[in-house]
Amino acid sequence: MKTPTIEIDVTQERKELLKRYKLLLKSAKPYLKGDDAKTIKKAFAMATDAHQDMRRKSGEPYIYHPIAVAQICVDEIGLGTTAIVAALLHDVVEDTDIKVKDIQALFGEKVALIIEGLTKIAGVFEHGSSQQAENFRKMLLTLSYDVRVILVKLADRLHNMRTLDSMAIDKQLKIASETMFLYAPLAHRLGLYAIKSEMEDLYLKYTDAKTYRDIASKLHQTKATRNKFIVDFITPIQSELNKAGFEVTVKGRPKSIFSIYNKIKNQNTPFEQIYDLFAIRIILHQVKPEDEKAACWRVYSIITDYYKPNPDRLRDWISTPRSNGYESLHTTIMSSLGQWVEVQIRSERMDEIAEKGYAAHWKYKEGGPNNAEAGLEQWLSRVREAIENNDLPALDFVDNFRNNLFKEEIFVFTPKGELKSLPAGSTTLDFAFDIHTEIGTHCIGAKINQKLVPLSYILTNGDQVEILTSPKQKPNEDWLKFVFATKSKAKIREALKDNLREQADDGKEIIARKLKNAKIDFSDENQRKIMDFYGEKSALEFFAKVAKNQIDLNHLLDFSKPHFHEVKTPSIASKKDFVREISKARGEPSDMLLIGEDMEKIDYKLATCCNPISGDSVFGFVTVSEGIKIHRTNCPNAIELMSKYGYRIIKARWTSQKEIAFPAGIFFEGTDRVGIINDITVIISTELKVNMRSITVESDDGIFSGKIIVFVNDTTHLDKLIEKLQAVEGILKVTRFDYGDY
């Protein structure tokens, strides 16, 4: 099919470009000093020239993208000139002939380092590695130099997510999943809640469009009700707040679409039954930093004079801010309409930090260090240490980092009463390494609240920890099971390597002695042959095994005899190679699915982790040994597969040429009555003529629930069945579930 020609109005595009550039300068004005405007102009000119013949998938000039990224850096993160220049030039090294050294010569080392960190690693990666993981790793390593690398990257990723419509479906899935896998957690950890929430919402939009549209529509329909609720809530307390001398702004912010989706999914609750669809935020104006804490508690006191608080839902993030700098006082109150509502009380400064995270701290640094800033710096310091001391393969590195991103923190005390924050899940051994590497290395146990505990004891909030050490203690392999924090694991591996080197030196001496007695040279060539003979790849580990008598040296001298030959396995470097390699893939041939760029009929298997059925939004994943597997786009494993192995993702689309029955799980719940099970089975078997594979039902005090696995033709067939079941008297809820978990 011939690609339609797009008419380009060059004059109009130049006007639009100039308009966007002027808006950027206007937004950046409060941050500019000295020659900053000239520097930005120079960067804009360079970027415009470098990208002049390039266009995005949408057809618009490519230069619109770096300008939009710079605008996000200013408006939504609060960054200054260095970040603006880096944002404008962030793609020139990767996409044009300009080199990092050229950037450094014109704009200095800081900008060059940020752009170096943002530039993807070139080249083809071998099968078993992951290009995405290598690029994540490279970017994260730059945290050691400048956190702005991550902040500019988040702005870049946010704009990419906002403009995903023009991309092919497989690219949408890959980019959205990468975003959910690493960038949304990063935004959360750096306190950029607005960016994190938007990323999550956009992820849902492209992986489960129907659910996204349903929730967005229902939120829009309930907007007027929410606004009225806020007015009714604030009216009784407004005069009291005024009497106390408080000037406040009250906002009602709906929960993000993704967080509502999570509640629906995790609590198995319909939208209409979720009570905390939004939070009321009370922002205090013109409060001095030293008076903020007392002012927030005073407002809390006024509110709870009128509304009853839930004592189990009070969260004081002012006395002890979160490690990403977030400060706020949260309470949940019972409204006059009989529903629980979350209320957040914070100062204007706290609100800005809650919206703009790490970058907002720079604005308030002149006022001296505060608890929130100290906590954030402590977390960044831990991240830097973990990154700098980590030589894991890229995939393990990213997994490790991501696990730490998701974890909330706990607060514990030293014997002298000093407060320390650690990732939730940390053990006494983690605490020891957090204090000092030497203390961790020689740790034999700990006292928690004066009681003796082992190295593996998991710390909880409020524990007072005293570490016990011994100069004779040394780390061993088991220690890796006792620690949670990346920093601790890196330090233990480092210590184990030192031990391994000592053992390897002893093992090398043993081999050298045996070869000398046999009058054989201990050359590099012979060392390689010996390792091949024993099937060992690492010289360090091989010689250490020799020292520990784990290698049988009785046949050592046979190493030079011909006894084996090398077999080279083919390297699979791209998606097309994969498709070629699996032309004889296992699985039933079917014309129900069209797969790949050319939408061909290729053999496949349906993934058991999510059990897709005809009509589901799906993608193909090329496995190493089982051919192509078809997953739902909202499969529990989709985020990880598409983030780590995006090059193995291929398009897949259902056709309707055959009627095939797919198994699907249905969960139902309701009030028990005589004959209800019969009514259910009549609808399934008689009315809709659907075959059942299994049914289980439980009843307790008049409430019953059940699970049925049925065979349906497609999602339309399944939706019709669910609709019919929901109409049965006594049934309160009917939902689909992944029967692979059943």
**Residues contacting 230, CB < 8 A, separation 6+:** 250, 251, 252, 280
Please tell me whether residues 673 and 649 are part of one structural domain.
no
Q: Do residues 370 and 159 lie in contact, with contact meaning Cβ atoms separated by under 8 Å?
A: no
Q: Do residues 79 and 150 lie in contact, with contact meaning Cβ atoms separated by under 8 Å?
A: no
Q: Which of 215, 236, 261 is the last residue of a domain?
A: 215
d(CA 212, CA 438): 51
What is the domain range of residue 503? 494-560
Token pair recorded at residue 90: 């962030």
In angstroms, what is the C-alpha Rg of the chain?
30
d(CA 490, CA 469): 20
Please tell me whether residues 693 and 600 are part of one structural domain.
no
Count of Cβ atoms closer than 10 Å to residue 492 Cβ? 23
Question: 617: pLDDT confidence band, cut at 50, 70 and 90?
Answer: confident
In this predicted structure, the answer to whether residue 282 has a pLDDT above a threshold of 60 is yes
In a domain, 280, yes or no: no
**Residues contacting 515, CB < 8 A, separation 6+:** 521, 522, 526, 556
pLDDT tens digits for range 169-182? 888 888 888 888 88
In a domain, 554, yes or no: yes
CATH of the domain at 25: 1.10.3210.10
**Residues contacting 436, CB < 8 A, separation 6+:** none
Look at residue 47 in the predicted model and tell me its pLDDT. Answer: 92
Look at residue 131 in the predicted model and tell me its pLDDT. Answer: 65
Look at residue 271 in the predicted model and tell me its pLDDT. Answer: 78
Q: Which of 215, 250, 267 is the last residue of a domain?
A: 215
Count of Cβ atoms closer than 10 Å to residue 731 Cβ? 18
In this predicted structure, the answer to whether residue 382 has a pLDDT above a threshold of 70 is no
Q: Which residues in 122-174 belong to E strands, given as ranges?
A: none
Burial profile 388-422: b = 16 or more Cβ within 10 angstroms, e = fewer = eebebebbebbebbbebbebebbbbeeeeeeebbb
Mean pLDDT, rounded, for 104-117: 88
Q: Do residues 412 and 465 lie in contact, with contact meaning Cβ atoms separated by under 8 Å?
A: yes
Token pair recorded at residue 149: 């690398």
Q: Do residues 134 and 125 lie in contact, with contact meaning Cβ atoms separated by under 8 Å?
A: yes
In a domain, 568, yes or no: no
Provide the 3-class DSSP secondary structure of residue 695.
strand
Distance of CA 523 to the CA centre of its chain: 49
Please tell me whether residues 46 and 83 are part of one structural domain.
yes
pLDDT tens digits for range 38-79? 999 999 999 999 888 888 888 888 999 999 999 999 988 888
Distance of CA 70 to the CA centre of its chain: 23
What share of residues in the chain are helix, strand, coil (percent, to 5)?
50, 15, 30
Mean pLDDT, rounded, for 387-396: 63
Burial of 477 (0-12, 13-18, 19+ CB in 10 A): exposed
Please tell me whether residues 580 and 719 are part of one structural domain.
no
Selecting among 49, 53, 75, 95, the annotated active-site residue is 95
Measuring CA to CA, how many Å separate 427 from each of 56, 178, 410, 488, 585?
A: 49, 30, 11, 10, 46
Average pLDDT over the chain, rounded to whole? Answer: 79
Please tell me whether residues 628 and 666 are part of one structural domain.
no
Q: How many CA atoms lie within 13 A of 496 on its CB side?
A: 13
Look at residue 565 in the predicted model and tell me its pLDDT. Answer: 41
Mean pLDDT, rounded, for 296-314: 90
Q: Which of 179, 163, 173, 235 is nearest to 208 (CA)?
A: 173
Please tell me whether residues 650 and 667 are part of one structural domain.
no
Please tell me whether residues 545 and 675 are part of one structural domain.
no
In a domain, 288, yes or no: no
Look at residue 340 in the predicted model and tell me its pLDDT. Answer: 81
Please tell me whether residues 504 and 582 are part of one structural domain.
no
Distance of CA 32 to the CA centre of its chain: 33
In this predicted structure, the answer to whether residue 352 has a pLDDT above a threshold of 80 is yes
For the chain, how many structural domains are there in total? 4
Token pair recorded at residue 729: 């008297």
Count of Cβ atoms closer than 10 Å to residue 147 Cβ? 18
Please tell me whether residues 643 and 703 are part of one structural domain.
no
In a domain, 373, yes or no: no
In this predicted structure, the answer to whether residue 558 has a pLDDT above a threshold of 70 is yes
Q: Which of 326, 311, 299 is nearest to 189 (CA)?
A: 326
DSSP-assigned letter for residue 478: T
In a domain, 349, yes or no: no
Beta bridge partners of 520: none
d(CA 528, CA 204): 52
pLDDT tens digits for range 499-536? 778 888 888 888 888 888 888 888 877 887 888 788 77
Q: Do residues 61 and 13 lie in contact, with contact meaning Cβ atoms separated by under 8 Å?
A: yes
d(CA 663, CA 665): 7
- Gap between the terminal Cα atoms of the chain: 46
Angle 209-221/257-266 helices, nearest 10 degrees? 110
**Residues contacting 632, CB < 8 A, separation 6+:** 607, 610, 611, 612, 616, 617, 618, 638
In a domain, 25, yes or no: yes
Question: 498: pLDDT confidence band, cut at 50, 70 and 90?
Answer: confident
d(CA 348, CA 354): 10
**pTM of this prediction?**
0.67
Please tell me whether residues 650 and 693 are part of one structural domain.
no
d(CA 182, CA 150): 11
Q: Do residues 621 and 605 lie in contact, with contact meaning Cβ atoms separated by under 8 Å?
A: no
CATH of the domain at 725: 3.30.70.260
Token pair recorded at residue 184: 């949304």
d(CA 51, CA 40): 16
Look at residue 360 in the predicted model and tell me its pLDDT. Answer: 62
Please tell me whether residues 586 and 504 are part of one structural domain.
no
Please tell me whether residues 595 and 701 are part of one structural domain.
no
In this predicted structure, the answer to whether residue 569 has a pLDDT above a threshold of 70 is no
Q: What is the residue type of 496? A: L
Look at residue 155 in the predicted model and tell me its pLDDT. Answer: 93
- Which residue matches tokens 């975003």? 179
Mean pLDDT, rounded, for 448-457: 88
Sign of the CA dihedral running 338, 341, 346, 352: negative
* Residue 505 is among the residues annotated as catalytic for this protein: no
In a domain, 254, yes or no: no
Least trusted range by pLDDT, from 52-56, 330-334, 416-420:
416-420
In this predicted structure, the answer to whether residue 603 has a pLDDT above a threshold of 80 is no
* Pairing outcome for strands 419-423 and 443-448: unpaired
Element (H, E) at 629: strand 628-632
In this predicted structure, the answer to whether residue 316 has a pLDDT above a threshold of 50 is yes
Token pair recorded at residue 240: 């009291």
Mean pLDDT, rounded, for 307-321: 87
Look at residue 598 in the predicted model and tell me its pLDDT. Answer: 53
Provide the 3-class DSSP secondary structure of residue 444.
strand
Look at residue 319 in the predicted model and tell me its pLDDT. Answer: 87
Look at residue 183 in the predicted model and tell me its pLDDT. Answer: 87
Q: Do residues 106 and 49 lie in contact, with contact meaning Cβ atoms separated by under 8 Å?
A: no
Look at residue 648 in the predicted model and tell me its pLDDT. Answer: 79
Q: Do residues 431 and 465 lie in contact, with contact meaning Cβ atoms separated by under 8 Å?
A: yes
In this predicted structure, the answer to whether residue 88 has a pLDDT above a threshold of 90 is yes
* Residue 95 is among the residues annotated as catalytic for this protein: yes
Q: Which of 605, 628, 654 is the last residue of a domain?
A: 654
Selecting among 94, 247, 502, 505, the annotated active-site residue is 94
Q: Do residues 467 and 441 lie in contact, with contact meaning Cβ atoms separated by under 8 Å?
A: no
Please provide the DSSP assignment of 573-593 as one string: -SHHHHHHHTTT-SS---SSE
Sign of the CA dihedral running 545, 549, 552, 558: positive
d(CA 341, CA 225): 14
d(CA 611, CA 634): 11
d(CA 196, CA 105): 35
